[in-house]
């Protein structure tokens, strides 16, 4: 493999896969599930992704130097491997489209209410196609760079938190049934969707030993950002009110008025465009890369151009925001299943076939 990313870039790539449209609605989703224990749901939600990351790393590290397509074809056989790749490609395409659609809904709500949806989708997707077509090296650098530039905008909400937050909104702790918590863990697990791309990105990491550490760190950073978002929103609005807003995270920003700028949430949305375009591009890239490898094509940009109308069409398909949310819930579910079943299956095959470790050492 000619292109590589550093383990540091893997951290940021995984964070950008997970952190996207979900962050704006996360406080609502968690508050609906377990009320004031929303922050607990965020932590619980990280369990399945953690298991998935651990399994994926196990599989990849047993067969170093093999890309995702080569790995599946070696372990599951030529045709079954192609089917597994296809499952992943379909997931990536739908995920990319779903995030893009939710992203476009936010743009419609806050920035461009009158412009046709399709036009906004096409424009956003064109930028993310440009990003996806640049290859893994540039993607790694971009994910890192945009993280540093944009994540600080999360903290514009600090003034309103200091002014209005009431810690009592988080009380009483552990007031729900066990069933509620496990259900909440599942629904917040959706917010982490994107973690399963580690199985595609991990083979390209320069220092193999640091892969797991980097991936777990990525998960922890994402969880901390989610925790921050959920805790600040719930402490300001309370669990009841949080459920009423479509995008509670943005509402939090509109609480404070900063002199000169009438509405601070605009700055956050503009910065957030850069945040949310990354999971779209990363999923887009994954789909493109796998297709390219399956068919043994040379140019990634051609695949990216071919995928463009497909993703645009899927993103355009939902009639309204409700269906768009359902599409993204579907992606979350798909992600959890794919993220655990696929590495588990591959690991099982790898152990049965006895390939890997013994031969490599």
Q: Which residues of this protein are in contact with another protein, per CB under 8 A?
A: 6, 8-9, 107, 111-112, 115, 120, 123-124, 127, 130-131, 134, 138, 140-142, 144-146, 148, 259-263, 266, 269-270, 273-274, 277
For residue 200 the two structure tokens come to: 């595609």
Torsion of CA 271, 15, 27, 151, to 10 degrees: -30
Q: Which is nearer to another protein, 11 or 185 (CB)?
A: 11
- In whole angstroms, give the CA distance from residue 100 to residue 91: 14
Number of H helices, E strands in the chain: 17, 0
**Nearest of 299, 296, 308, 294 to residue 93 by alpha carbon:** 308
**Nearest of 173, 151, 136, 142 to residue 290 by alpha carbon:** 136
Q: Which is nearer to another protein, 12 or 325 (CB)?
A: 12
Q: Which is nearer to another protein, 6 or 242 (CB)?
A: 6
Q: How far is the CB of 23 from another protein (least distance, A)?
A: 17
For residue 322 the two structure tokens come to: 């409700």
Cα 262 versus chain centre, distance:
31
Q: Which is nearer to another protein, 142 or 290 (CB)?
A: 142
Q: How far is the CB of 171 from another protein (least distance, A)?
A: 37
Q: How far is the CB of 266 from another protein (least distance, A)?
A: 5
- In whole angstroms, give the CA distance from residue 49 to residue 271: 27
- In whole angstroms, give the CA distance from residue 19 to residue 2: 28
Q: How far is the CB of 146 from another protein (least distance, A)?
A: 7
Q: How far is the CB of 263 from another protein (least distance, A)?
A: 6
Q: How far is the CB of 345 from another protein (least distance, A)?
A: 34
Torsion of CA 252, 221, 277, 34, to 10 degrees: -50
- In whole angstroms, give the CA distance from residue 118 to residue 238: 36
Q: Which is nearer to another protein, 145 or 295 (CB)?
A: 145
For the chain, list the strands marked E by DSSP.
Answer: none
Q: How far is the CB of 300 from another protein (least distance, A)?
A: 13
Question: By the 8 A CB rule, do 332 and 95 touch?
Answer: no
Q: Which is nearer to another protein, 34 or 271 (CB)?
A: 271
Q: Which is nearer to another protein, 50 or 266 (CB)?
A: 266
- Burial (CB count <10 Å: 0-12, 13-18, 19+), residue 260: exposed
- In whole angstroms, give the CA distance from residue 99 to residue 314: 11
- Please list the alpha-helical segments (H only) found in 133-193: 136-150, 158-164, 178-191
Q: How far is the CB of 228 from another protein (least distance, A)?
A: 22
Q: Which is nearer to another protein, 107 or 198 (CB)?
A: 107
């Amino acid at each position: 493999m000619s292109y590589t990313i550093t383990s540091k870039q893997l951290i940021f790539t995984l964070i950008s896969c997970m952190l996207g449209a979900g962050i704006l609605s996360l406080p609502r989703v968690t508050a609906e599930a377990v009320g004031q224990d929303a922050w607990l749901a965020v932590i619980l939600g990280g369990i399945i992704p953690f298991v998935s990351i651990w399994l994926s790393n196990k599989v990849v590290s047993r067969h170093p130097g093999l890309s995702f397509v080569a790995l599946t074809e070696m372990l599951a056989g030529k045709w079954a491997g192609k089917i597994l790749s296809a499952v992943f490609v379909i997931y990536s395409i739908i995920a990319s489209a779903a995030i893009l659609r939710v992203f476009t809904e936010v743009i419609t709500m806050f920035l461009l209410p009158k412009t046709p949806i399709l036009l906004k989708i096409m424009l956003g997707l064109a930028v993310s196609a440009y990003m996806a077509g640049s290859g893994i090296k540039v993607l790694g650098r971009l994910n890192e760079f945009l993280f540093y530039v944009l994540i600080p905008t999360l903290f514009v909400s600090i003034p309103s938190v200091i002014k209005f937050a009431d810690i009592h909104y988080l009380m009483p702790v552990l007031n729900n049934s066990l069933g509620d918590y496990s259900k909440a863990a599942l629904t917040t697990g959706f917010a982490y969707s994107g973690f399963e791309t580690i199985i595609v990105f991990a083979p390209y990491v320069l220092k193999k030993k640091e892969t797991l550490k980097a991936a777990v760190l990525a998960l922890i950073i994402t969880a901390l950002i989610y925790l921050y978002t959920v805790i600040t929103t719930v402490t300001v609005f309370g669990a009841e009110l949080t459920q009423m807003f479509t995008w509670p995270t943005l509402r939090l920003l509109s609480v404070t008025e900063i002199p000169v700028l009438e509405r601070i949430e605009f700055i956050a949305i503009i910065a957030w465009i850069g945040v949310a375009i990354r999971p779209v591009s990363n999923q887009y890239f994954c789909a493109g890369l796998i297709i390219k490898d399956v068919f043994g094509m040379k140019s990634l940009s051609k695949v990216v151009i071919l995928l463009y109308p497909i993703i645009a069409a899927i993103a355009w398909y939902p009639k309204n925001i409700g269906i768009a949310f359902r599409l993204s819930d579907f992606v979350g579910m798909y992600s959890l299943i794919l993220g655990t079943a696929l590495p588990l299956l591959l690991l099982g095959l790898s152990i049965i076939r006895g390939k890997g470790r013994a031969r490599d050492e």
